């Protein structure tokens, strides 16, 4: 599976395209949808599991605007909740550097995405002129090879990494996954 296969998988999935079109209506700068939306769909496909929608708790819609405040994201998430029957979590990545103990703000959404906990989670999709576009700061190899590896910024403290794997039951849902620590 390569990037074109991912793009075609998204294009051929009406539910995914509906979600992306709803997200695009918000006209948020530098937006993308990541985490379980794409990751779980890929893992399902590679495990031969056919679900109508991705096995995800919410739609993680992220964007970047320097003047963002958390309260605005909360209001926007509440406004979107229920659209397509989904729970939306919308977060401006301009302030999330504080969550990762960084002194300096991220310069864009892709840089923030690069510091999500696991490399297969650091893959997102957006629309470019109505067509899906993959954003993958660490590449897609781990995602499509069923490898769960901590992102570089999370390799020093693996507690969060292991807790996420366990709490989300990934190894039970997708038994072909392999946890890799470099």
> Where are the chain's structural domains?
3-179
The predicted-structure confidence for 135-155, as pLDDT tens digits, reads as follows: 999 999 999 999 999 999 888
**What pLDDT does 103 receive?**
66
Q: Please give the average per-residue pLDDT across 29-54, as a whole number.
A: 93
Provide the percentage of residues in the chain whose pLDDT is more than 70. Answer: 95
What is residue 168's DSSP assignment?
T
pLDDT of 99 over the 70 cut: no
Question: Could you tell me the sign of the dihedral formed by the alpha carbons of 101, 105, 109, 111, in that order?
Answer: negative
Residue 163 burial (C-beta neighbours within 10 Å; 0-12, 13-18, 19+): exposed
Residue 44 burial (C-beta neighbours within 10 Å; 0-12, 13-18, 19+): middle
Rounded to whole angstroms, the Cα distance separating 85 from 155 reads 36
Asked whether the beta carbons of 61 and 48 are under 8 A apart, the reply is no
Provide the percentage of residues in the chain whose pLDDT is more than 90. Answer: 74
Mean pLDDT of the chain: 92
| 65: CB partners within 8 A, 6+ apart | 28, 29, 30, 92, 94
Place of tokens 């999709």: 125
Q: Please give the average per-residue pLDDT across 96-111, as a whole number.
A: 76
pLDDT of 72 over the 90 cut: no
Going by pLDDT thresholds of 50, 70 and 90, the confidence category of residue 174 is very high
**What pLDDT does 181 receive?**
93
Going by pLDDT thresholds of 50, 70 and 90, the confidence category of residue 163 is very high
**What pLDDT does 52 receive?**
80
Asked whether the beta carbons of 117 and 100 are under 8 A apart, the reply is no
3-179 is a CATH 3.30.460 domain: yes
């Amino acid at each position: 599976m390569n990037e074109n296969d991912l793009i075609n998988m998204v294009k051929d999935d009406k539910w995914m395209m509906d979600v992306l079109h709803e997200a695009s209506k918000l006209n948020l700068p530098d937006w993308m949808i990541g985490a379980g939306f794409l990751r779980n769909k890929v893992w399902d496909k590679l495990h031969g599991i056919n679900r109508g929608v991705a096995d995800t708790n919410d739609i993680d819609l992220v964007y970047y605007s320097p003047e963002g405040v958390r309260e605005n994201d909360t209001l926007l998430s509440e406004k979107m909740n229920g659209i397509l029957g989904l729970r939306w979590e919308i977060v401006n990545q301009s302030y999330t550097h504080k969550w990762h103990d960084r002194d300096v703000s991220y310069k864009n959404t892709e840089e923030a995405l690069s510091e999500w906990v696991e490399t297969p989670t650091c893959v997102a999709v957006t629309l470019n002129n109505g067509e899906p576009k993959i954003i993958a700061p660490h590449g897609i190899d781990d995602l499509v090879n069923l490898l769960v590896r901590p992102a570089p910024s999370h390799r020093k403290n693996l507690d969060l990494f292991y807790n996420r794997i366990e709490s989300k039951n990934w190894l039970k849902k997708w038994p072909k996954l392999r946890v890799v620590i470099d």
